Amino acid sequence: MRFIYPLFLLGAYLAEVPAQAQTVHSPSNKLTLNFRLSPSGEPTYQLQFGTKPVLKPSKLGMLLQGQPGMDQGFTIAQTDSSQHDDTWTPVWGEVKQIRNRYKELAITLAQAGQGGHRMVVRFRLYDDGLGFRYEFPEQPGLTYFTVQQEKTEFNLSGNHKTFWIPGDYDSNEYTYKTTRLSEIDAADVTPIQEKSAADRVQTPLMMKADDGLYLNIHEAALVNYPAMMLTVNRQTFGLTSTLVPSVTGAAAYLQTPEHTPWRTIVVSNNAPEVLASKLILNLNEPTKLTDTGWIKPQKMVGVWWEMHVNKSSWNYSDTGNLKLADTNWSQLKPNGHHGANTANVKRYIDFAAKHGLQSVLVEGWNVGWEDWAGNWKEEVFDFVTPYPDFNVAELQQYAASKGIKLIMHHETSGSVTNYERRQDEALRFMKAHGYDAVKTGYVGRIIPRGEHHDGQWMVNHYNRTADHMARQQIMVDMHESVRPTGMHRTYPNWLANEAARGNEFNAWSEGNPPEHETILPFTRLMGGPMDYTPGIFQIQLESWNPERNKGRQVHTTLTKQLALYVTMYSPLQMAADLPEAYEKHPDAFQFIKDVAVDWDDTRILAAEPGDFLTIARQAKGKDEWYLGAITDENARNQTVKLDFLKPGQRYEATIYADGKGASWDKNPMAYQIRKLKVNSKSALKLQLAAGGGTAVSIKPVK
Ligand code: NOJ
Ligand code: CA
């Protein structure tokens, strides 16, 4: 008994003496962050919105390979607090200017004794959320090091409603599931990836708490590091970071001084504020480009959808088992339905020129498509040899004569070693032939074999490509890349990414449910623009290949496709359907011709993830507004006040609405167009059909 008494006292003493703790309030006091060390020196943080808990105490830490972990045994060596408030102008974007206002707390942690490390945790607390990252200063005993795993916790306050896709290391091309955290079951992943886990999901992860808070967890400025996925504890509602592994199993190979991407949590008590948040962009580095005049937001058409609906093919011949170096492409027997032939490309150039669109994407122009997908083959494409029926010089001249730019396509088929080896030559080819934009693609498994689309090696590839292209004044759009993290602030030539399940799935799979486009802005688009490829007018697909496309349709009404140009933000938009589909509906096509792709202002007028979304945007440098309203599978009525218009000015609103009896599944192509005079005191009554939408253009009356 004599010994137990003092031990008990000691325990009480440790628990009571506060471990060193720090508190920060956001600039307008909406959020409160607490940082503290546990008695064993584990760093933890906690976040509150007003009096509502957002994150319960959650651990921070890093596990290294062959070295002691940086997750415990710390003392606080130094704390630095500061505040920041400035406004910057994006090269293009949803708004003209962005305010970057936060309180910063940087905590330098030190481990005692031999082999102990130093690490800084830097927090930036905004009124709409928190960003924090780990920094590894230069120090004795930590130069080259390997991150085995990052142990960042996000311990949520309840069993939130969650919009999630499985934690596939290679693909984001899923429809979203909406469940409670406790019900997440992500075991069902498609075959491209090799490691699945029932409890692992991807970011941006969108959640809604029962107390009305909306939370979004993602990351900003993903550089030289793998993407962060989240492993869910379905009992405690805790999330733990899970980094995408490299081929060796370790997560990241680093050298001091280095830091991780920012971990981000956007928090609001209303959904529109989540969409309006600029936190992720603010946490990215400003661009170093001084001349950005060559970067052009734009609308394109493409020799593209016709392949997805099987009217034509990417490949020139139906011969298989070809080897890139050994094949005499001019002697192959053409299959008779190759899409990227000179005459067909000219038809698209004519169409773009006639309707004031800027560019034409051409896929399937270069040799290699006979063997491209699924073979895990090193040498698929060389990115410089056109098929015999694609005349590069003639098309360069023709496009230039019509004021149209051709967009280059580099499908890598996942063979990224091959692409990197040939990228300089491919760039020279582009420069020589007048191309100033490229779409890259990474379909299939990655070479180097064993690397993942979302691992450190590939993250470095995407960033290097954006950088490489920027130096050559080339704009870029990436498909099947890692999902964006706001890097377009640093590389404004990186116009868009796919990195989610695009409209193309409606052409050849069970498609995307009507709610899909109401969720994407709250998930995938939190990190940056998406090349979703809206604008399909021939909703019920005309079936050229009954096997593949028969009975398929796009899961929206026609006017919802128009609304997507506003709700699905991107400075690169595609008029994705075939010219002949637009020629049948010139009145509805007018909206696609008119709608802007760069904006001075954006108002999120109504939003609920999974249900509906209404956004109005003001065209860059103009007193013109475009409004898009979309709904899920439920029809909805909505009244929209136009109080964002300039007082005293009269405008003409052209309303592209679902027709009588329209619905996404039974009558998707019915629409009606009305014109109305409006001003800042007007309100529009919108009637959205099931799976429908309304698009409105609002232009001043002179
Ligand atoms: C998938 C891309 O998302 C699509 O846009 C492209 O047409 C095909 N890959 C072929 O590269
Ligand atoms: Ca819904």
- Cα 87 to averaged position of ligand 1 atoms, centre (Å): 37
| Ligand with an atom nearest the CA of residue 309 | 1
| pLDDT tens digit sequence for 296-352 | 999 999 999 999 999 999 999 999 999 999 999 999 999 999 999 999 999 999 999
| pLDDT tens digit sequence for 81-109 | 999 999 999 999 999 999 999 999 999 99
| Ligand with an atom nearest the CA of residue 302 | 1
Q: Enumerate the H helices of 472-550 as residue ranges.
A: 505-508, 516-519, 546-549
CA–CA gap between residue 214 and residue 268 (Å, rounded): 5
Positive or negative: CA dihedral 245, 246, 250, 251: negative
Chain centroid offset of residue 173 CA: 11
| CB distance 498 to ligand 1 below 6 Å | yes
Please say if the pLDDT value at position 10 is more than 50: no
What one-letter code names the amino acid at 86?
D
What is the per-residue pLDDT for 245? 96
| CB distance 117 to ligand 1 below 6 Å | no
Confidence of residue 19 (pLDDT cuts 50, 70, 90): very low
Please say if the pLDDT value at position 12 is more than 60: no
| CB distance 531 to ligand 1 below 6 Å | no
Please say if the pLDDT value at position 192 is more than 70: no
- Cα 46 to averaged position of ligand 2 atoms, centre (Å): 31
Per-residue tokens: 246: 């490299």
Closest atom of ligand 1 to 409 CA is: 11
| CB distance 306 to ligand 1 below 6 Å | no
| Ligand with an atom nearest the CA of residue 631 | 2
Please say if the pLDDT value at position 3 is more than 50: no
| DSSP code at position 129 | E
Q: Give the phi and the psi of residue 181 in degrees, each rounded to 5.
A: -55, -40
Distances (CA, A) of 658 to 70, 169, 569, 670: 57, 39, 22, 6
Is 530 in contact with 520 (CB distance < 8 Å)?
Answer: yes
Please say if the pLDDT value at position 587 is more than 50: yes
The larger pLDDT score, comparing residue 700 to residue 3, is at 700
What is the per-residue pLDDT for 7? 38
- Cα 266 to averaged position of ligand 2 atoms, centre (Å): 22
Give percent of the chain with pLDDT exceeding 90. Answer: 92
Please count the residues of the chain: 702
**Pocket probe mutation, ligand 1, options 314, 380, 442, 479, max atoms within 8 Å of Cβ:** 479
Query: What does R_g of the chain's alpha carbons equal in angstroms?
Result: 26
What is the per-residue pLDDT for 544? 62
What is the per-residue pLDDT for 18? 41
Domain ranges of the chain: 2-282
Is 44 in contact with 59 (CB distance < 8 Å)?
Answer: yes
Kindly compute the dihedral angle of the four CA atoms of residues 560, 566, 570, 572, in this order, to the nearest 10 degrees.
80
E strands of 530-688, at which residues? Answer: 572-574, 599-608, 612-619, 625-631, 636-641, 651-658, 671-678, 683-688
| pLDDT tens digit sequence for 527-580 | 999 999 999 999 988 766 667 777 789 999 999 999 999 999 999 999 999 999
| DSSP code at position 31 | E
Atom 11, ligand 1: residue with shortest CA distance: 411
* Mean pLDDT of all residues in 401-429: 98
Atom 2, ligand 1: residue with shortest CA distance: 479
Please say if the pLDDT value at position 207 is more than 80: yes
Distances (CA, A) of 39 to 18, 114, 127, 606, 646: 9, 20, 30, 46, 59
Confidence of residue 2 (pLDDT cuts 50, 70, 90): very low
**Pocket probe mutation, ligand 1, options 304, 363, 440, max atoms within 8 Å of Cβ:** 363
Q: Is 504 a catalytic residue?
A: yes
> 94, 306, 480, 504: which is the annotated catalytic residue?
504
- Cα 647 to averaged position of ligand 1 atoms, centre (Å): 45
- Cα 476 to averaged position of ligand 1 atoms, centre (Å): 14
- Cα 353 to averaged position of ligand 1 atoms, centre (Å): 24
Please say if the pLDDT value at position 210 is more than 90: yes
| CB distance 441 to ligand 1 below 6 Å | yes
Query: Three-class SS of residue 62?
Result: strand
Atom 3, ligand 1: residue with shortest CA distance: 479
pTM of the full predicted structure? 0.96
Of 414, 472, 470, 421, the C-alpha closest to 440 is 414
- Cα 563 to averaged position of ligand 1 atoms, centre (Å): 23
Is 362 in contact with 338 (CB distance < 8 Å)?
Answer: no
- Give the fold, CATH level 3, of 2-282: Beta-galactosidase; Chain A, domain 5 (2.70.98)
| pLDDT tens digit sequence for 595-634 | 999 999 999 999 999 999 999 999 999 999 999 999 999 9
Query: What is the overall mean pLDDT for the chain?
Result: 95
Residue for token digits 């909703």?
A: 539
Please say if the pLDDT value at position 644 is more than 80: yes
Give percent of the chain with pLDDT exceeding 70. Answer: 95
Closest atom of ligand 1 to 479 CA is: 3
